[in-house]
Amino acid sequence: MRSPLRLSAFIIMGSLFGLGCEVAPRQDPLSETAVIPETTEVKQGVVGDVLLRCDEPRDGSYVEVVQTATGYEAASYAEVNDPWDCRCTYTQRTVLGQYTQCRKSTVDPRIMNCYRIEPNGTTGKVVLSTTRIERTQMVIGGSQTVSYQELNIAAINQDPGQTPRKDFNYDMENCQ
């Protein structure tokens, strides 16, 4: 059995030398995705191509949809504190779903639907859908109105053991 003094010394020495505090690698800024003219189906691209990325500037979290070897994958990323050492943070990646097909709007490539096709040919229980919403509100105490656009992302995953639905809202200018 370890003595409390020995354990305390290990914790103090570990904190002095920064044991367990590895800085998570940062993602490089992504280039803008290209619109595929006159089609709604996304063409097979290179593994790692980003179809959609939405950033939250306040906390650095983001959601992205990327091309994989077997189709497409959506994931959310968030900077979280290490539960064992509050001085350390790391990037937590949560897979929202894996899809066999994605379709983009020809009007705006940020508006898309991704879904999984099951072996029997039916649409699966895993879907990602984005919606552009324009909001108009009146300024309190005045007669001015303010309009802005948001992109809502609904990630539905009804596979066993998964969170059935996650929703994200981003300003349109934070999505590419």
Confidence at residue 44, expressed as pLDDT on a 0 to 100 scale: 66
CA distance 169 to 58: 13
Tens-digit pLDDT profile for residues 19-42:
444 444 434 333 344 444 433 567
Tens-digit pLDDT profile for residues 5-17:
444 444 444 443 4
Confirm if 42 and 33 have CB atoms less than 8 A apart: no
Tens-digit pLDDT profile for residues 122-168:
888 999 999 999 999 998 999 999 999 999 999 999 988 888 899 99
Confidence at residue 27, expressed as pLDDT on a 0 to 100 scale: 41
Confirm if 126 and 118 have CB atoms less than 8 A apart: no
CA atoms 127, 109, 30, 90: torsion sign: negative
Q: Nearest CA to 48 among 60, 64, 63?
A: 64
Q: What is the mean pLDDT of the chain?
A: 80
Confidence at residue 40, expressed as pLDDT on a 0 to 100 scale: 54
